[in-house]
């Protein structure tokens, strides 16, 4: 098992679990909430077969990484990613983020630049800015997120059940694009995550990435389900091409939030085409 130390809490190290497989140009995969690096299982074999080095890791608080009670903000998440990239001396790499992972990609490129990065991919994007404010009328009302935090406090497991049903649009895609067993596997991972991280990460979803976007100078591919119930397409991905220097948007028709699982037949070919183009 491989770990990189990214900080400490009360004298104990904060360690990120990662896996590094294959040879070739590196692809760093950054998972979504509330899963872990193994959630990329429908992309990893395809990328390895295409000749890439594939790196996955678990965000702090999730998977096999440490579960501290500090550092659940995107400046820290980006610093964690940077620590991993420097630890592995990753160069000329592709960053691929899903859901919360799109925040790491955006903040990393905004703050650390593209010296080590060739291209980036966002699946189920959280940028540019999810919260509705006077200067961001396209956002989502803040009460939605307060209700989410209240639901987590009341019964985290019940909340996760509801969240994952919308994560996969189970009422529409259950039994076809998402099996009961695959849903259960996601629930098991989510339930094992830090209860504190599950709660406090909700506030990180409201990060304003608008100042990061003009600093991104690498080509970016954005893929997003048009039926995404977690990060609605009009509030997120649809807005991004006009805010980026070089971006291609591919809407996945009727896709839910986790298109990497349910619509891998559409996501994987587009991903490979973008990486090799």
Whether 99 sits among the annotated catalytic residues: the reply is yes
* Residue 214, both tokens: 């003009």
**66, 212, 228, 263: which is the annotated catalytic residue?**
228
Task: Give the number of other Cβ atoms within 10 Å of residue 115's Cβ.
Answer: 7
Q: What angle do CA 131, 137, 142 make, to 5 degrees?
A: 30
3-state secondary structure string across 106-140: HHHHHHHCCCCEEEEEEECCCCCECECECCECCCE
Whether 194 sits among the annotated catalytic residues: the reply is no
Q: Are strands 2-9 and 12-21 parallel, antiparallel or unpaired?
A: antiparallel
* Residue 249, both tokens: 């948007």
Task: Give the number of other Cβ atoms within 10 Å of residue 265's Cβ.
Answer: 9
**39, 66, 99, 194: which is the annotated catalytic residue?**
99
Q: Which helix (H) or strand (E) holds 195?
A: helix 195-204
For residues 39 and 63, the answer to whether their CB atoms sit within 8 Å is no
Whether 135 sits among the annotated catalytic residues: the reply is no
**31, 58, 204, 257: which is the annotated catalytic residue?**
257
Task: Give the number of other Cβ atoms within 10 Å of residue 206's Cβ.
Answer: 16
Active site members: 99, 228, 257
């Amino acid at each position: 098992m491989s770990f990189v130390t990214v900080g400490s809490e009360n004298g104990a190290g904060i360690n990120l679990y990662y896996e590094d497989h294959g040879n070739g140009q590196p692809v760093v995969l950054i998972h979504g909430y509330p899963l872990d690096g193994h959630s990329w299982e429908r992309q990893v074999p395809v990328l390895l077969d295409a000749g890439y080095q594939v790196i996955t890791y678990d965000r702090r608080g999730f998977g096999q990484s440490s579960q501290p009670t500090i550092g659940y903000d995107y400046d820290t998440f980006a610093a964690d990613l940077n620590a991993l990239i420097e630890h592995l001396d990753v160069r000329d790499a592709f960053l691929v983020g899903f859901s919360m992972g799109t925040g790491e990609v955006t903040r990393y490129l905004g703050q650390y630049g593209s010296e080590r990065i060739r291209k980036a991919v966002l699946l189920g994007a959280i940028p540019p800015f999810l919260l509705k404010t006077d200067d961001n009328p396209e956002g989502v009302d803040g009460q939605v997120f307060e209700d989410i935090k209240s639901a987590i406090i009341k019964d985290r497991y019940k909340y996760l059940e509801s969240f994952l049903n919308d994560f996969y649009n189970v009422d529409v895609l259950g039994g076809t694009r998402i099996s009961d067993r695959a849903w259960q596997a996601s629930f098991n991972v989510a339930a094992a995550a830090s209860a504190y991280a599950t709660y406090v990460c909700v506030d990180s979803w409201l990060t304003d990435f608008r100042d990061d976007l003009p600093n991104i100078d690498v080509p970016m591919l954005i893929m997003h389900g048009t039926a995404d119930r977690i990060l609605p397409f009009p509030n997120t991905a649809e807005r991004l091409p006009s805010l980026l220097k070089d971006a291609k948007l591919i809407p996945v028709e009727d896709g839910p939030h986790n298109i990497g699982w349910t619509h891998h037949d559409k996501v994987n070919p587009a991903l490979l085409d973008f990486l090799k183009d």
